[in-house]
């Protein structure tokens, strides 16, 4: 949900709207695919609930922290920056889990220029991407893990851009505390 104010000089600016963010959309796909991946290749094959849970929770944290950061952005740019950074960290943790999976199973990690990596990256340009866009890559553990690695790199790239933009905006415009101060100061002189 996006919160919008009725006036242009409101202290609390519009915020939320995270479902429209490409970073959130990609993180949501990563979460959905990670659950399936872990059910098929981590828990059923290795009987490792701990690894299953860690990977699913890292994927969930990536998605949920983007949503929470976006929702609190109206009153705390500092918290938004922190939560987007936490999302980025969670997805990095998940990336390492997928790399570890490939390494310990002696499966190849696709290079950036591998034809299959490029094919997965090309899917990012489709409109209305979802779990089903990538479902075909989940048939085998090698293609599934490598597909998710590509997606996590995409999400991390988007989050890095988002963090740079948030930092730039914060330095330029300040946050909620500054808006409160300026609004109170302006009102004091209007009386």
With a threshold of 0.85, does the pTM exceed it?
no
| Residues ≥6 apart with Cβ < 8 Å to 151 | 26, 29, 30, 33, 120, 134
Percent of residues in the chain assigned helix, strand, coil, to nearest 5: 75, 0, 20
Instruction: Please give the pLDDT value at position 71.
Output: 87
pLDDT for position 177? 61
Position 191 in a domain: no
Question: 170 in a domain, yes or no?
Answer: yes
Q: Which domain holds residue 172?
A: 16-185
**Does residue 3 lie in a domain region?**
no
Instruction: Give a yes or no: residue 180 inside a domain.
Output: yes
Q: What pLDDT does residue 173 have? A: 66
Residue 134 forms part of a structural domain: yes
CA dist., res. 93 & res. 59, Å (int) = 9
Q: For residue 131, give both structure tokens.
A: 């779990």
Quick check: is 10 in a domain?
no
Per-residue model confidence (pLDDT) at position 6: 46
Q: How many domains are contained in the chain?
A: 1
Determine the pLDDT at residue 80: 86
Residue 167's pLDDT is 86
Give, in order, the Cα–Cα distances in Å from 123 to each of 100, 113, 155, 166.
25, 15, 13, 27
User: What residues in the chain have per-residue pLDDT under 70?
Assistant: 1-16, 44-47, 74-75, 172-191
Q: Is residue 4 situated within a structural domain?
A: no
pLDDT of residue 169: 76
Task: Please indicate, yes or no, if residue 48 is contained in any of the structural domains.
Answer: yes
| Distance from C-alpha of 80 to C-alpha of 148, rounded to nearest angstrom | 26
């Amino acid at each position: 949900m996006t919160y919008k104010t009725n006036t242009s000089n409101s202290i609390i600016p519009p915020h939320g709207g995270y479902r429209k963010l490409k970073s959130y959309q990609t993180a949501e796909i990563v979460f959905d695919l990670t659950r399936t991946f872990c059910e098929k290749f981590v828990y059923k094959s290795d009987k490792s609930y701990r690894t299953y849970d860690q990977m699913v929770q890292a994927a969930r944290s990536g998605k949920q922290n983007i949503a929470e950061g976006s929702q609190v952005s109206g009153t705390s740019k500092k918290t938004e920056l922190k939560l987007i950074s936490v999302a980025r960290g969670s997805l990095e943790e998940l990336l390492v889990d997928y790399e570890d999976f490939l390494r310990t199973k002696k499966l190849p990690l696709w290079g950036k220029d591998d034809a299959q990596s490029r094919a997965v990256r090309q899917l990012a340009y489709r409109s209305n991407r979802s779990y089903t866009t990538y479902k075909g890559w989940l048939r085998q553990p090698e293609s599934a893990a490598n597909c998710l690695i590509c997606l996590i790199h995409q999400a991390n790239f988007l989050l890095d851009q988002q963090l740079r933009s948030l930092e730039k905006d914060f330095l330029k415009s300040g946050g909620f505390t500054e808006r409160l101060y300026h609004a109170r100061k302006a009102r004091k002189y209007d009386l």
